Amino acid sequence: MVRENVAYVSVAGEELSISLHPDGSPIAVHKLSNEKGRIITDPTHRRRSQTKRDKLVKQVTEQLAETEDSIWLIMTLQEHYPRHTIDQFKVVLKVIEIYPLYINDPVKEMKRLVLTSANYLRDIAIALEIQSSKQSSKKEVINEKYKATTAPERDQDIYLQVLQGGR
């Protein structure tokens, strides 16, 4: 059985009432506008997203080691993405989760280059991880098969003799 999310709307006087059942008690009551096209917003609806935003800000601040950089990042994202701040913070937290070893340097790099999106943070963290993995792969790997074998020591004159044609 597929359950649908149905809301019942009714108007009584100057109030709009929303309930989950036709005769049920209202889950929300809103004042109707007397002016055509005017939008009336309920501050309690915004309070939830503000609380969520505050929780995400706290998480970002806790996760980043540098307080000054975290404050800069939070302020920059809020300034440039006021309607999408929560989404930007979610990207930052995801980057912190996936690339915990490479998170502080990308924030510093973003600040240096004056970049303003959490997507740049992600891209820089990915680039640093790739760069780090390339450097670690260049480290010398000892083949276990030949570990016990040592090359014989030769006198340097033998090389000169070979170059002179064996004379």
> What count of other Cβ atoms lies within 10 Å of the Cβ of residue 64?
19
Distance (Å, whole) CA 39 – CA 33: 7
Amino acid making up residue 21: H
Average pLDDT over residues 14-20: 88
99 compared with 136, residue with greater pLDDT: 99
Q: Above 70 in pLDDT, residue 1?
A: no
Question: Is the CB of residue 128 less than 8 Å from the CB of residue 103?
Answer: no
Distance (Å, whole) CA 4 – CA 158: 89
Distance (Å, whole) CA 114 – CA 105: 14
Query: Helices (H) and strands (E) in the chain — how many of each?
Result: 6, 3
Question: Is the CB of residue 77 less than 8 Å from the CB of residue 115?
Answer: no
Q: Above 70 in pLDDT, residue 23?
A: yes
pLDDT digits (tens, 9 = 90+) for 34-68: 887 777 777 666 666 578 899 999 999 998 888 89
DSSP-derived 3-state class of residue 22: coil
